[in-house]
Structure 1
Amino acid sequence: MASSRAVPNLEFRRLRGQRSPGEFAALVRRAAREIGEQVACDARYIGRVEAGEIRCPNYAYERVFLHMFPGLTLADLGFSARETVRGRAARGRTPRPPDPYYGNNGTTGSISTNCTNSTYSNEESDVLRRAFMTSGTVTVAAASLGFGPLPGTEALRSDLPRQRIGASEASAVEAAVRQIRLLDDRHGADGLYKRAAQPLRAAYALLDAGATTRGSTADRLAAGAGELAISVGWLAHDSGRLEDARSHYAEALATARVAGDTALEAHAFCNTSFLARDAGRHREAVRAAQAGQRAAGQVGSDRLLALLTLREAGAWAGLGDRAGCERALSRAHTLFGRGPSDRDPEWMSFFGEPELQALEAQCWSALGDWPRAARHAHRAAALQDPHFARNLALYRAQLAADLARADAPAEAAAVGEQVLDALEGDVESTRIRAMLDDTARVLGSRRSTAGVASFLDRHAATAPAAAARV
């Protein structure tokens, strides 16, 4: 329950009126879908807002609330201004995991309830660390999952005491997944991969320590560890460590099979298909996407099936099978058009119209239809919320590559300059850098075209610094 220092949000309670918290949460989710957002709003979240535990909503919820109540501000809704709620100023409230924050890279992030704009606040770190109050391996896992100073491997010795694993440990694993995804949304994978390996080991140490745990806690812990393996695998994938990624995805798949978790199994196959396509193993990519669809059939999510069908389309395109690709694209559009639902897994919140367009652009690129690919890549970049810097840079990198091959060198160079802006800022992604390198090679013979020389020179100047960071 909230501490005595939390101030109830009476304005928000007034706006709920005679509706129950559950009914009001359903209205929030419906409003989110109207503007292309997805939020995991439930009665518990509404209760936390009204109790004053959430002093300011994250950006996704802010957009939804302002859409629901046009003309009102956050202050009118009873929230504190974002800039006034920071770090340790919010101390004294009962620690809770961060609220869901929906990213756009195939992952879900989180922003702590204090609404700080820093990538990882002091308060959120404390929340994760204090989720564990026992000793031995569990304590070590707490520090690791809190992403504070990471302990050495000595701390995970098998002879350390094993404590009872409960809901707080499962919550901390889930929070670590959200945190990694948030940081990846904003910065890309390169700077995160090595840091994320320790929390992953800690999560599986907890899973091992809780081998005798039963019921929902055991299910949550297994799902959390598997999702963490996928998240770390994605960081490896995006930073060019494809064999590491393959190992992490296989670990997640094994966890899903042992736990009988079809949603986790579908996610693991989804990422495995993506990885196989990037590695040039297109038939493996087809098989993994189809296996994922079989698992997803038990989940009841059309959006999940749509994404897996797009993975299949990309694999057929890699094989040069235009007819197979077009059939899969048609099925994917039909499934996507059915809209989101409450059965959609949390990690899928990134999968909106921009990602759909970007994945279709990749298909046409693989088939050599550069103008068509460029049209879809342009739509993806135009529709993408600029808050998600990493994915916007990715879509623009795809667009620059397609424009370069579609004989539009000036346009390709201009978009390439925008990608360089991101790479020289907070985004670090070997995947995006490699795409831009390829664009530079294609434009090498077009230096005399307006804007191309400037892009090529700037790209060449930043390459050594990028290589040093990897």
Structure 2
Amino acid sequence: MEREPNRLLQQLIAEAGLSHKGLARRLNDLGAARGTPGLKYDHSSVLRWIGGQRPRDPVPSLLTEIFALRLGRPVSPAEVGMPVITTPLDLGQEFTHTWKEGVATVTALWRADMERRRFLIDSTFAIGAGSVGAVRWLTATSDERPSGSGTRRVGRADIAAINEVTRSFGELDNRFGSGRVRSSVIKYLDNAVSPLLREGAYGEPTGRQLAAAAAELTRLAGWMAYDLEQHGLAQRYLIQALSLARGADDHALGGEILAGMAHQAIYMGQHAHALDLARAAQLSARRAGVHTLLSSAQVLEAHAHAGLGDARSCGNALHDAEIAFDSRVPRNEPAWLSYFDEAYLSAKFAHCFRDLGEGERVVRQARRSLDMDGRYVRGRMFNLSLLAAGLLQCGELEEACQVTGTALKLANDLQSARSRSYAADLRRRLEPYKGEPAVRALRERTRELSLA
């Protein structure tokens, strides 16, 4: 995707009588003098900036200083074609009211993430932001017309490309963990999807398809941040994915995103918040008439009840989830829901029973969950962890150690913070038995693994 050329920068370089190589050299030297050593820009970097790429800080300010010294007059960032961009610290936490506001927010989030802005990396999870996003999703009207009046016509091929990228990155994420692929997803969002949203020409039908495609990939990027336990960043992405789903007027997709938000809240121990989000997801699933999604949202409600220690409400929600699951017609449902099969449902049941301390039921459901698609390597690690935990609750120490060893070996090859947390949980559960021969043998078998 081509960017608008930075003609202001090109004109300044000519006015200053600098070569591209000479400008890059001055930039590197000045950076070292100003406390930013190690800059290694060259003539190719300058060509990219002229082509429209915006360099990271502190390059724009260094360029203004170089030109000011060379020309003998003040030079502002705007004159260099790189105006100062003030980024709000709550970027991405707000579910905006209009399509244009939403596009501006989500594309700014992608750019700030690409630039590894510290406030995003350090951001914390905000229950209020998630609650407001859910309420606005449920109460938003569907009369908005997503459209763009830019210079590049957006067509089916553009949208198909986004969908294929989402599918491919999703498969890689499940096989290798989010740490190996998330940076590539963010780069694609910023370099390819952002120009389509901001600078594309599209009417309402194409706009809704573009919004849906962008929402799915943004949701995946948020899910990856969650897998890396970057919870504040993940929440911002999921809220913005929900906003894009509103532009698409896609209740099924919105429900899936709300379910993902509930999933994250449960993982973080925010069970009351998760309950609200799971119920909001159910409302969206009913609006869309998608039974698999309804089952997913109901089993998340059950898990939230389990976390709150409410076994009766958990059982009722699990019963509802089974009824919805049995009513589904997969061929009539979105392709992105194909992951939610009998094995996945069994795994969610096992999570509930583990948190309620019902070991025999954990083992029964966890064994069923292992009859799963082999591409979901990270999911298999989670399910093995559930089985090991259930076996420990049943007093089956030797088999628990065997299963734990397999789970730890899978986790070792994944770049997934959640996998490491599951591994750490298993180690904590085994700690009371550290003197037993089976645990000592497990420790010896897994000694060479790089797990922290």
With structure 1 as the length reference, what TM-score do the two structures score? 0.63
Asked if the contact 1:200/1:232 (under 8 Å) is kept, the reply is no
Q: Provide the residue aligned with 1:393 in structure 2.
A: 381
Q: Provide the residue aligned with 2:398 in structure 1.
A: 410
Spell out, residue by residue over 1:191-212, the C-alpha distance to the aligned partner (whole angstroms, 9 max, x if none). Answer: 22223221222323322223x5
Q: What CA distance in whole angstroms lies between the structure 2 residues aligned with 1:224 and 1:461?
A: 42
Of 283, 298, 311 in structure 2, the residue corresponding to residue 309 of structure 1 is 298
Asked if the contact 1:413/1:452 (under 8 Å) is kept, the reply is yes
CA RMSD in angstroms comes to: 2.6
Is 1:208 the counterpart of 2:205? The answer is: no
Q: Provide the residue aligned with 1:142 in structure 2.
A: none
Q: Any idea what SS the aligned residue of 2:202 has?
A: coil
Q: What CA distance in whole angstroms lies between the structure 1 residues aligned with 2:4 and 2:391?
A: 52
Spell out, residue by residue over 1:205-234, the C-alpha distance to the aligned partner (whole angstroms, 9 max, x if none). Answer: 322223x51133211110011101111111
Q: Provide the residue aligned with 2:348 in structure 1.
A: 359
Higher helix share: 2
Moved more, 404-413 or 345-354: 404-413
Q: Provide the residue aligned with 2:32 in structure 1.
A: none
1:4-403 aligned at under 5 Å gives the runs 135-136=2-3, 157=54, 162-202=151-191, 203-210=193-200, 212-381=201-370, 383-403=371-391
Corresponding residue pairs, total: 317
Asked if the contact 1:165/1:213 (under 8 Å) is kept, the reply is yes
Spell out, residue by residue over 1:322-360, the C-alpha distance to the aligned partner (whole angstroms, 9 max, x if none). Answer: 111111100100111123333312111011111010000
Q: Provide the residue aligned with 2:426 in structure 1.
A: 439
Cα distance, 1:439–1:163 mapped onto 2, change above 3 Å = same
Asked if the contact 1:401/1:436 (under 8 Å) is kept, the reply is no
> Shift of the alpha carbon at 1:137?
6.8
Cα distance, 1:205–1:460 mapped onto 2, change above 3 Å = farther
Letter in 1 for 2:290: S
Aligned-residue identity in percent = 29
Letter in 2 for 1:367: L
Q: Any idea what SS the aligned residue of 1:418 has?
A: helix
Unpaired segments ≥5 residues, structure 1: 1-133, 139-150
Asked if the contact 2:208/2:247 (under 8 Å) is kept, the reply is no
Q: Provide the residue aligned with 2:436 in structure 1.
A: 449
Cα distance, 1:248–1:457 mapped onto 2, change above 3 Å = farther
Q: What CA distance in whole angstroms lies between the structure 2 residues aligned with 1:249 and 1:434?
A: 22
> Shift of the alpha carbon at 1:266?
0.7
> Shift of the alpha carbon at 1:461?
4.0
Moved more, 174-183 or 162-171: 162-171
Q: What CA distance in whole angstroms lies between the structure 2 residues aligned with 1:247 and 1:156?
A: 25
Asked if the contact 2:209/2:248 (under 8 Å) is kept, the reply is no
Asked if the contact 1:136/1:163 (under 8 Å) is kept, the reply is no
With structure 2 as the length reference, what TM-score do the two structures score? 0.65
Asked if the contact 2:177/2:378 (under 8 Å) is kept, the reply is yes
Cα distance, 1:322–1:178 mapped onto 2, change above 3 Å = same
Spell out, residue by residue over 1:378-424, the C-alpha distance to the aligned partner (whole angstroms, 9 max, x if none). Answer: 2211x113343222222112212232333222111100111123234
Cα distance, 1:442–1:341 mapped onto 2, change above 3 Å = closer
> Shift of the alpha carbon at 1:155?
5.3
Q: What CA distance in whole angstroms lies between the structure 2 residues aligned with 1:284 and 1:370?
A: 26
Q: Which runs of 4+ in 1 moved over 6 A?
A: 151-154, 158-161
Larger Rg: 2
